Structure 1
Amino acid sequence: MSVSSFVSPVIDAFGAESTTNTTEIELIESLARRYGAPFLMLDCDIVRRQYHALKEALPGVVLHFALKPLPHPAVVSTLLAEGASFDLATTGEVELVQSLNVPADKTIHTHPIKRDRDIRDALDYGCTVFVVDNINELEKFVAYRDQAEVLVRLSFRNPNAVSDLSKKFGCTEQGAYAIIARAFELGIKVKGLSFHVGSQTLDADKYVHAINRCDAVIRGVSSQGLPALEVLDIGGGFPVSYDDTDVNIYSFCAPIREALAQLPATVNVIAEPGRFIVAPAMTSVASVMGQAERDGETWYYLDDGIYGSFSGILFDHGHYPVDALYWQGERFPSVLAGPTCDSIDVIAETIMLPKLNNGDLIVGRMMGAYTSATATEFNFFKKAQIIVLNEFVRDESLAPVVALEI
């Protein structure tokens, strides 16, 4: 049996009956005894499950995992073995995939604004596809026009997304025509178009609109006698549920599939999923290191917090389902605070929890995206170690494999 079969559905952070089962409790207790808290459990079986679910929902679309939400070697190795490609944005990410022997032709570099050395580092590795969204950026590739190809990123604003990524990056449709025409003059190959409708996009019509507008640009470019565009990158932003709301990714992607079917047959489609692949794959475990009664509530001070694994509360607008490992019994109004001396370091207020003792464990779900990746060691509290589960595909009759990330 794989460890992923032990992992329960999301625990309601507001006091609904927990679904943590005995086997998972035993696993968490065992890991806590062996490694100490805080720690994060990264289940590679869930990474595989999420990848294949999105592959099924978007048949024919080449998925480039975006490293930034969880740039962990086990995630990269797991996805590489499943056939995934990768989306890179920094030299550090280039170095990570290179160290893990990811073939360079399975990567693209999608940061719209780059230093010259960023371009050179990627090209030295063998990554040759880059993203631009303005003439200034395009002209950086004059020196590399015999090696590099570019995608032109368009902006489609989406203020309802958790993060409207078209606010910071992307050009208008007319801007795209201007960039493509200038690239032709400079001898730089434009391979295609890209967009990103924003993180945690709950409305598939945002993708449909962007695909349709890009389709118009692709056809318009050909009608103007410019070289045909070969690629459309539809970005990421595919939603996952942080509560008990059901997100059926196959149904969600149905209108996206319909829109993609209208593209010219010569256009290859790629995507850059990040959060969808890894958010459900990591669970946090922290321990109570102290407590106090304040204004009728019990404050529990944990050894992990806002400056650590729960950094996504600030940086990612995150709301993670948390509960006590031992959830049974009467519940009382409580506050979960982090370990640092900063008053902003509060994970959850007015949360209903059973009475806890020092040393008791608190479990956080959906902790794979923008948590460890954005954690700090402020106040010299060390980042939670990552414990990797099910990294290697194996016979299901074998016991769970647990490998400690050093």
Structure 2
Amino acid sequence: MAIAHSVLDFQSYSTDALNAEKIQLIESSVAQFGAPLLLLDCDAIRQQYRALQQALPTVTLHFALKPLPHPAVVRTLMAEGACFDLATTGEVELVQQLGVEPERTIHTHPIKRDSDIREALAYGTRVFVVDNLNELEKFRRYCDEVELLVRLSFRNSEAFADLSKKFGCSIEQAMMIITMAKEWNIRIKGLSFHVGSQTANPQKYVDAIHACAALMQQVVEAGLPALSTLDIGGGFPVSYNSKVMPIELFCQPINAALKTLPETMQVLAEPGRFIVAPAMTSIASVMGSAERDGQIWYYLDDGIYGSFIGLIFDDAKYPLHTLKHSSEYFASVLSGPTCDSIDVIAENILLPRLDNGDLVIAKMMGAYTSATATDFNFFKRAHTVVLNEEVVDQERLLG
């Protein structure tokens, strides 16, 4: 099975979106490091973080490491004053090694082994998430050390990944958890939710915020300790080959809903994809070509089992470009390097005639690419080259 794309206007695959400076950077990077490559631009991380921070001014942003757990990303966001959302012991170890203060972290995986809890506590993380009584009971022995968020489920069929299918509880179940926590002397700090990945409609956040506010009132009326924190999760959308709402407009109704909460309410968010997706550019080279069924197949040195693995499980149709200009274009297929027939990046696209060694560029490659790539068939993963990380120190000195 191949990942099929319809024939597109080659303007989507032209050099127009790559200026001369970018092209020179791409060519010099390949000359120095070879291909395949991933160029990680820390400037783009700063821009995305600041844009979301400005769009959600009353919200503390905890970057979710999952889509791109790269040390340069963590260091860049540390310098921006960001906090971090951790989900595994491996992520705890990464931020600990890089010197992130544990007070700037939360641990949001709803299901954890006791060893995961102990490792996070040893590091200094104190805020965890639960969504069922079995999970709550794991914290009885740590009741003096932790504060918990109860994760609610808000199903979202419009999202690419409806995370509430796997995690989260109902309002009724949340009340049971909060009631039992009081019996067990476990402090419930607040509520959390995640409306789903690549959520295009901000009303999903608004509805969830209002439902959480109602539950918080219900908690008070039941004589249980008042809740002080709401975590609105991630899911903020980015543009791949189709446009999404600008983030400042997207967040306007969310901000309006947050204003209905008590002024003392602490609000958190867990952005991942939004911060890192635009920060990485993929560079692959043509290994060989063949004509099959009226199309030219180009075999690249990166593919579905490598940086393009998101084409299998993620809602990411990466914008593609070549560095060649031509007056004639041909129906083409871009294939990955492995011996598996599923390893196809794009079919039925119009490209100029490419030669061995020519480069194919993909943008918006920061989220769920290098983090999920494999070494299948013993093709090595793309090497990551970090750009503009040193600007952090210069900015601080100038400031």
Question: Shared fold by TM > 0.5?
Answer: yes
Give the distance between the partners of 1:320 and 1:13, measured in 2 at CA.
13
Assess, with a 3 A threshold, how the Cα gap between structure 1 residues 198 and 73 changes in structure 2: closer, same or farther.
same
How far is 1:288 from its partner? Answer: 0.1
Query: Aligned residue for 2:65?
Result: 67
How far is 1:329 from its partner? Answer: 3.4
Query: Aligned residue for 1:157?
Result: 155
Of residues 323-332 and 71-80 in structure 1, the stretch that sits farther from structure 2 once superposed is 323-332
Give the distance between the partners of 1:210 and 1:73, measured in 2 at CA.
33
Matches within 5 A, 1:87-98: 87-98=85-96
Select 1:125's aligned residue among 110, 123, 143. 123
Structure ranking higher on relative contact order (CA contacts 8 Å, 6+ apart): 2
Give the distance between the partners of 1:308 and 1:51, measured in 2 at CA.
27
Select 2:276's aligned residue among 275, 278, 281. 278
What is the TM-score normalised by the length of structure 1? 0.93
Query: Aligned residue for 1:375?
Result: 373
Query: Aligned residue for 1:6?
Result: none
Native 8 Å contact 1:13 1:321 kept in 2: no
Give the distance between the partners of 1:129 and 1:156, measured in 2 at CA.
22
Assess, with a 3 A threshold, how the Cα gap between structure 1 residues 222 and 328 changes in structure 2: closer, same or farther.
farther
How far is 1:266 from its partner? Answer: 2.0
Give the distance between the partners of 1:82 and 1:133, measured in 2 at CA.
31
Query: Aligned residue for 1:15?
Result: 10
Select 1:388's aligned residue among 382, 386, 389. 386
Assess, with a 3 A threshold, how the Cα gap between structure 1 residues 212 and 166 changes in structure 2: closer, same or farther.
same
Is 2:294 the partner of 1:320? no
Is 2:196 the partner of 1:198? yes
Is 2:247 the partner of 1:249? yes
How far is 1:394 from its partner? Answer: 5.9
Native 8 Å contact 1:13 1:322 kept in 2: no
Select 1:138's aligned residue among 136, 152, 158. 136
Give the distance between the partners of 2:202 and 2:366, measured in 1 at CA.
23
Aligned-partner residue type, residue 300 of structure 1: Y
Q: Secondary structure at the match of 1:372?
A: coil
- How many residues get paired? 386
Native 8 Å contact 1:13 1:323 kept in 2: no
Q: Secondary structure at the match of 1:306?
A: coil
Is 2:64 the partner of 1:80? no
Q: Kindly report structure 1 stretches of 4+ aligned residues shifted beyond 4 Å.
A: 394-397
Assess, with a 3 A threshold, how the Cα gap between structure 1 residues 334 and 76 changes in structure 2: closer, same or farther.
same
Native 8 Å contact 2:200 2:244 kept in 1: no
How far is 1:328 from its partner? Answer: 4.1
Aligned-partner residue type, residue 253 of structure 1: C
Give the distance between the partners of 1:100 and 1:14, measured in 2 at CA.
45
How far is 1:396 from its partner? Answer: 8.6
Query: Aligned residue for 1:109?
Result: 107
CA RMSD of aligned residues (A): 1.4
How far is 1:214 from its partner? Answer: 0.2
Query: Aligned residue for 1:28?
Result: 26
Query: Aligned residue for 1:176?
Result: 174
Identity %: 65
Give the distance between the partners of 2:118 and 2:393, measured in 1 at CA.
43
Which segments of 5 or more consecutive residues in structure 2 lack a partner in the other structure?
1-6
Assess, with a 3 A threshold, how the Cα gap between structure 1 residues 327 and 108 changes in structure 2: closer, same or farther.
farther
Q: Secondary structure at the match of 1:300?
A: strand
Native 8 Å contact 1:306 1:314 kept in 2: yes
Assess, with a 3 A threshold, how the Cα gap between structure 1 residues 212 and 395 changes in structure 2: closer, same or farther.
closer
Aligned-partner residue type, residue 161 of structure 1: A
Aligned-partner residue type, residue 289 of structure 1: M
Native 8 Å contact 1:15 1:353 kept in 2: yes
Which segments of 5 or more consecutive residues in structure 1 lack a partner in the other structure?
1-11, 398-406
Give the distance between the partners of 1:13 and 1:57, measured in 2 at CA.
34
Aligned-partner residue type, residue 205 of structure 1: Q
Select 1:265's aligned residue among 259, 263, 266. 263
